[in-house]
Chains A and B, each alone.
Chain A
Amino acid sequence: MAKTAIELKNITKTFGSVVANRDVCLSVDHGEILSILGENGSGKTTLMNMISGIYFPDSGQIFIDGKETVIRSPKDAFDHKIGMIHQHFKLVDVFSATENIILGLKGKGKFNIKEATRKVEEISHKYGFDIDPNKKIHEMSVSEKQTVEIIKVLYRGADILILDEPTAVLTPQETQKLFAVLRRMRDDGKSIMIITHKLHEVLSLSDRVAVLRKGEYIGTVKTSETNETELTEMMVGKKISLNIHRSEPKNCEDRLCIEGINCLSREGVKLLDNVSFTAKSGEILGIAGIAGSGQRELLEAIAGLQHIDSGKIIYNNPKTKTQDNLRDKTPLQIRELGVRLSFVPEDRLGMGLVGNMGITDNMMLRSYRKGKTVFLNRKPPHDLAERIISELEVVTPNSETPVRRLSGGNVQKVLVGREISSSPTVLMAAYPVRGLDINSSYAIYNLLNDQKERGVAVIFVGEDLDVLLELCDRILVIGSGRVTGIVDARSATKEEIGLLMTKGKGDEE
């Protein structure tokens, strides 16, 4: 069976002066799972987009079953039985699974929904998918939607499947289920390429691993002949230690007490359901949960950006020893109360920073009100910008370059740097390492740890359970807007947290 299904030779793609891929060569056999491993920005998705016809390579060749092939559009890709499952699903919410699957297919005469449903069921059965073909997309969980996307590709007869970071949105249990399905597909002779930057997934799933670094192709190794350290080295280009230093919490005091907050969406759906917890000074409280379980609303409610319907947010001021209820206060009022609350939001360039402004002007966001005149004083923010650039090693031409032109890691350093520069007592960070390379991620972890040691109450919303378990002191698990458990990060296991993540959903039904 080990016949080559698809082979890339010297593929190069540039965007302006940025080289996304340079001379990438790789191949996948029939009945094989190949992981494409690389840090964010290493060109994995660009490469896959060229195979699936979204981009066109500047140079290089693609061979399918040994024949040179030109793929100019997603339709060409389908004609060559290549199917890609994107990170962001492309489904019509009000349609059922089957309707979405046959959407866009050309055929003579009327659609035969029954026949299509039968075929969907047949595919589900064959590979062990768990799906109801008549369920509407908007009623589905993220993993069910992903299943629909995969079946959609299989229905069109794909033999080469590309999955772009499929596990990013899944719980550990769902990931295991997906991997079982992928293995069955491999045994059926399909070729599977999976993009990921999670090492343990690579090792448990794939037959071979191709590593990219900054657009360069580093090499392909057999999974059975490698280990985590070697792969990391290939990925990052140098030896790094992947240990997070976790100190014991000291001088813990209750800093922020959340008491039974409820929050409804405009449509009346409960976004936060009786959430209570306490964040203590000198510790990192992790928040785990499936994306969209209420993490954003929770942090925004504390920051004064989200209206809550009931409950209290009590802040214990360490200086004045007073207690303030932050509920229904605007960010400005919270600040005026003397609450030193810093917030690194999930949407860095859309909320935390202004993409078109330079670092100096972004520093000024927090401080521009200072001074009695109507004029801005650019000197202090400029000094702060220069300090952050040198202390956090931000790579930028100068402090006036628009921050949207910086790389993800540097953008995040600017944002975190600004937020900790005001010496906060509470620091909230939502997915602060999303999209960052390993080095930048660890730089951010160290900054959070550093804040904890200074006695800040750190609240860290994360998605990588391994990191949460290594970095935090306690982990709060949130499911469908309610707290499903608070565990000790030193003793809890990933499986335990995974179960808690899905618990909220089960209770509801």
Chain B
Amino acid sequence: MKLSKNHSFHIVKREPPVWYIGLAIRAAAVILALIVSGVIITLLTDKNPIAIYASMIDGAFGMDIRIWSLFQDVAILLCISLAVTPAFKMKFWNCGAEGQVLIGGLATVAVMMFLGDKLPLPILLIIMIAASIIASIIWAVLPAIFKAYWNTNETLFTLMMNYVAIQFVSYFLKSFVKTGSGVLFPMPEFGLPVLFGKQYLLNIIIVAVMTVLVYIYLKYTKHGYEISVVGESENTANYIGINVKKVIIRTLVVSGALCGIAGLLLVGGTNHTINVETAGGRGFTAIMVSWLAKFNPIFMVFTSFLIVFLQKGASQVSTDFRIPQAISDIVTGIILFFIIGCEFFLNYKIVVTKSVKEEK
């Protein structure tokens, strides 16, 4: 009898666990991740892992300025994550948040540059907001229209739009920066107002309000319900008479507008200038934030915080210990791997079975 291929265990789907077991599994994942990355760090660099974790925390929370910068980055990432969420919930794979944010930022910077000294600040701000939102909506709605009417692949389309946005920014910098250096000096005098002397406070407040609004939009409005139905099944949507084309386009208008706000906050509220790196890959990181939070805007506060914390900590570690950034990226990767991987244990359990032979 062949027993070489004996299954000693198999995988079985489980009922969703009660909340404290779910929490315990997630906590175990984080602890395991820290242990594994500790071992790897020691093996690769012979540095003390505890010191490295301490340095990570220091990098994120060490000083007032670091804490502010941490929350600012969380706010921007969260804002972009909120922007991609309605589209993702509809299963419209919008990979173009990067370009949508950038083009919104470009519109903002163009208004600052060309109208900054010609108009009073309040009017300038209104034009900035409008320009940024409209530019991002155009960027988001184009792929949506093509998807709705000709069923083109939105992933490719939105990715391509990213490159177009990047090229627009470099063209703008080459052609319109007077010094000819291609580097635009910040123009804080035309930026968004600073509240209580804290530069990032306004951004944080705006994003906090947006989080609540997006949560309400998705959960309690008719639009949000239509988004869920279209995302779950287009057949069902047609069956009950939802105009799927309209919902796709409308949702991407919302998505684009939120990206426009992110671009505005990033350029008008933070950098006061633009370059091709302004979005900095956040359009893609936002997808991860949104997925990790299972498209729930409130959970996204935590997931975006986690990711920004890891990034900040990692870069501090590489400075403190003069080790390549790559090592800290490895640590970030391991931690994310474990956090995502523990989802498996939330949905499945492993059952050890006795072999046929043993039973006799």
A and B associate in one complex: yes
Give A17's nearest chain B residue, CB to CB.
Answer: B15
B233 and A354 within 8 A (CB): yes
Nearest B residue (CB) for A355? B232
Nearest B residue to A303 by beta-carbon distance? B239
Whether a CB of chain B sits under 8 angstroms from the CB of A347 is yes
B17 to chain A, nearest CB (A): 12
CB proximity of B188 to chain A, nearest CB, Å: 38
Give which listed residue, B1, B15, B359, contacts A16 with CB less than 8 A. Answer: B15
* Chain B residue at smallest Cβ distance from A73: B5
Q: Is A61 an interface residue (CB 8 A)?
A: yes
B236 pairs with A331, CB closer than 8 A: no
Q: Does A447 contact B (CB under 8 A)?
A: no
Report the bound CA distance from A164 to B182 in whole Å. 71
**Chain A residue at minimum C-beta to C-beta distance from B217:** A374
CB-based contact B236/A351 at 8 Å: yes
Chain B nearest CB from A488 CB (Å) reads 32
CB atoms of A365 and B222 under 8 A apart:
no
CB distance from A342 to the nearest CB of B (A): 11
Give Cα distance in the complex from A376 to B218, angstroms. 11
A366 at the A/B interface (Cβ < 8 Å)?
A: yes
User: For the complex, is A72 an interface residue (Cβ under 8 Å from B)?
Assistant: yes
Q: A17-B15, A61-B356 are known contacts. Are A350 and B236 too (CB-CB below 8 A)?
A: yes
Q: Which of A304-341 contact B (CB under 8 A)?
A: 304-305, 330-335
Q: Tell whether A345 pairs with B239 under 8 Å between CB atoms, given A16-B13, A354-B229, A356-B232.
A: yes
Which of the residues A14, A351, A357 comes within 8 Å of B239, measured between beta carbons? A351
Interface range on chain A: under 10, 10 to 19, 20 to 34, or 35 or more?
35 or more
CA distance A89 to B2 in the complex (A): 30
**Which residues of B sit under 8 angstroms from A17, Cβ to Cβ?**
15
Query: How far, in angstroms, from A376 to B243 measured CA to CA in the complex?
Result: 18
> What is the CA–CA distance of A15 and B222 in the complex, to the nearest angstrom?
38
Residue B47 at the A interface, CB < 8 A?
Answer: no
Chain B residues near A61 (CB, 8 Å)?
Answer: 356
Residues from chain B with a CB closer than 8 A to the CB of A15 are 12-13
Contact A357 B241 (CB under 8 A): no
Mask, B9-36, CB within 8 Å of A = 1, is: 0101111000000000000000000000
Distance, CA A304 to CA B1, complexed state (A): 60
In angstroms, Cα B6 to Cα A56, docked, is 10
B3 within 8 A of A: yes
Contact B359 A59 (CB under 8 A): yes
Q: How far is the CB of A327 from chain B (nearest CB, A)?
A: 16
Q: Judging by beta carbons under 8 Å apart, are A331 and B241 in contact? A: yes
User: A144-164, CB under 8 A of B: which get 1 and which 0?
Assistant: 000000000000000000000
Q: A201 on the interface (CB 8 Å rule)? A: no
- Given the complex, which residues of A lie within 8 Å of B232, measured CB to CB? 354-357
With A354-B229, A364-B225, A368-B222 known as contacts, the answer to whether A16 contacts B12 (CB < 8 A) is yes
Q: Is A68 an interface residue (CB 8 A)?
A: yes
Complex Cα distance A439/B221, Å? 39
Q: Is A70 an interface residue (CB 8 A)?
A: yes
**Complex CA distance for A374 and B224, rounded to whole angstroms:** 10
Centre residue among A58, A68, A70, A330 by max chain B CB count within 10 A: A70
Which chain B residues numbered 208 to 262 have a C-beta less than 8 Å away from chain A?
220-225, 228-229, 232-233, 235-236, 238-243
Alpha-carbon distance between A357 and B237 when the two chains are bound, in angstroms: 13
Min CB–CB distance B151 → chain A (angstroms): 13
B181 / chain A contacts, CB cutoff of 8 Å: none
B221, A375: Cβ atoms under 8 Å?
A: yes
Contact of B220 among A70, A352, A376 (CB under 8 A): A376
CA distance in complex: A232, B197 (Å): 81
B222 touches A369 (CB 8 A): yes
Which chain B residue lies CB-closest to A332? B241
Is the Cβ of B1 less than 8 Å from the Cβ of A70?
yes
Q: Does A353 contact B (CB under 8 A)?
A: yes
B10 lies within 8 A of A354 (CB)? no
Which of A56, A332, A361, A368 contacts B10 (CB under 8 A)? A56
Known: A16-B12, A59-B359, A351-B233. A330 touches B225 (CB 8 A): no
Task: Say which residue of B7, B14, B222, B239 sits within 8 Å of A376 (CB atoms).
Answer: B222
Q: Are A350 and B233 in contact, with the CB atoms below 8 A?
A: yes
Q: How far is the CA of A354 from the CA of B238 in the complex (A)?
A: 12
Question: Contacts A350-B236, A357-B228; is A70 near B12 (CB within 8 Å)?
Answer: no
Are A366 and B221 closer than 8 Å at their CB atoms? no
A365 with B353: CB separation less than 8 A? no
Answer yes or no: A343 CB below 8 A from chain B CBs.
Answer: yes
Give the CA-CA distance A72 to B243 in the complex, in Å: 49
| B12, B13, B222: most-surrounded residue (chain A CB, <10 A) | B222
Say yes or no: B239 contacts A331, CB within 8 Å.
yes
**Residues 13-30 of chain A: 1 if any B CB is under 8 Å from the residue's CB, otherwise 0?**
011110000000000000
B13 — which chain A residues lie within 8 A by C-beta? 15-16
How many whole Å from B305's CB to the nearest CB in chain A?
27
Residues of B within 8 A of A58 (CB): 353
**Cα distance A304–B241 when bound, in Å?**
9
Interface residues in A1-40 by Cβ distance below 8 A to B read 14-17
Q: Which residues of A contact B240 (CB under 8 A)?
A: 331, 365-366
B229 touches A374 (CB 8 A): no
Please name all residues of chain B whose beta carbon is closer than 8 Å to the beta carbon of A72 when the two chains form the complex. 2, 5, 7
Across-interface contacts of A305 in B (CB, < 8 A): 238-239
Contact residues in A for B14 (Cβ distance below 8 Å): 16
- For A331, what are the chain B residues with a Cβ–Cβ distance below 8 Å? 238-241
- Chain A residues with Cβ below 8 Å from B238 are 305, 331
Distance of A15 Cα from B15 Cα, bound (Å): 11
B358 to chain A, nearest CB (A): 10
Chain A 287-317 interface residues, beta-carbon cutoff 8 Å to B: 303-305
Nearest neighbor of A68 in chain B, beta-carbon distance: B1
With A332-B241, A332-B243, A375-B220 already in contact, the answer to whether A351 and B10 are too (CB < 8 A) is no
Quick one: closest B residue to A405, CB to CB?
B15
Distance in angstroms between the alpha carbons of A418 and B236 in the assembled complex: 14
Q: Known contacts A70-B1, A70-B356; decide if A354 and B243 are in contact (CB<8 Å).
A: no
Contacts of B359 in A (CB 8 A): 59
Task: List 15 A-B residue pairs with CB atoms under 8 Å apart, sorted by A's residue number.
Answer: A16-B349, A59-B353, A70-B356, A72-B2, A72-B5, A304-B241, A305-B239, A332-B241, A332-B243, A333-B241, A352-B236, A354-B229, A356-B232, A365-B236, A375-B221
Closest 10 CB pairs of A and B: A332-B241, A331-B241, A351-B235, A354-B232, A365-B240, A16-B13, A374-B221, A351-B239, A16-B12, A375-B220
A contact set with B: CB distance below 8 Å: 14-17, 56, 58-59, 61, 68-70, 72, 303-305, 330-335, 343, 345, 347, 350-357, 361, 364-366, 368-369, 374-376
Query: Besides A330-B243, A354-B228, 9 other CB < 8 A contacts?
Result: A16-B14, A61-B356, A68-B1, A70-B356, A304-B241, A331-B239, A332-B242, A355-B233, A375-B220
